Amino acid sequence: MVTRTIENVPLWGNDLALDFANTTEGAGKDHLRTYDDLVTWAHRTGALPTDARPRGKLTRARELRAGIYDVFTAGSGIEVVLDVYADAVRNGTIEDGEWRWSGTHPDRPLWPVAAAAVDLLRSDRLDRVKVCGNCDWLFVDASRNGSRRWCSMDECGAHVKMRRYRAARRSG
């Protein structure tokens, strides 16, 4: 099994905000260990142009990540998401129907994430946001009938099915 790092953590959320929330794996593994990790993730996902190199601290990023997870799982945490979104609106412009930001503000990598979270909350995809039945990652279920239960069939779905198979063999 490949060790996950910020450079290769899967982007299975089908949404920028959910992929950001998924930069942690349970209580034990946080892929945002440094501010440089945040910048690396933002470059990798296109949330930040590769030539942008802001500097800052992770405090607000971790607050936003927790807020996004809470909003889509428990219905709480909207305040932090809206706070970062308000900063994004104040610092951004809309060009050709898309948000654009520039500069090296420390929260610059977070603005597209907050905008994506608000867009998802206002979209018809909201009822398709689910929590993986294996790893607790968030994802937008893009299946035709909306019955997907795992962030990835190849990983989490396969793990669950293998556990069920082994349990059935032991008991049968």
144 exposed, middle or buried (CB, 10 Å; 0-12, 13-18, 19+)? exposed
pTM assigned to the model: 0.92
Residue 58 has φ and ψ, to the nearest 5°, of: -85, -5
7 band by pLDDT with thresholds 50, 70 and 90: very high
Note the pLDDT tens digit of each residue in 71-119: 999 989 999 999 999 999 999 999 999 999 999 999 999 999 999 999 9
Report the domain count for the chain. Answer: 1
> Is 126 a domain residue?
yes
> Is 74 a domain residue?
yes
Q: What per-residue confidence (pLDDT) applies to 130? A: 97
Q: Which amino acid, residue 141?
A: D
Owning domain of residue 41: 16-171
> Is 10 a domain residue?
no
> Is 161 a domain residue?
yes
Note the pLDDT tens digit of each residue in 119-150: 999 999 999 999 998 999 999 999 999 999 99
> Is 8 a domain residue?
no
pLDDT at 157 over 90: no
> Is 3 a domain residue?
no
Only one residue has tokens 């603005």, namely: 111
Q: Residue 49 sits in a domain of what CATH number?
A: 1.10.3300.10
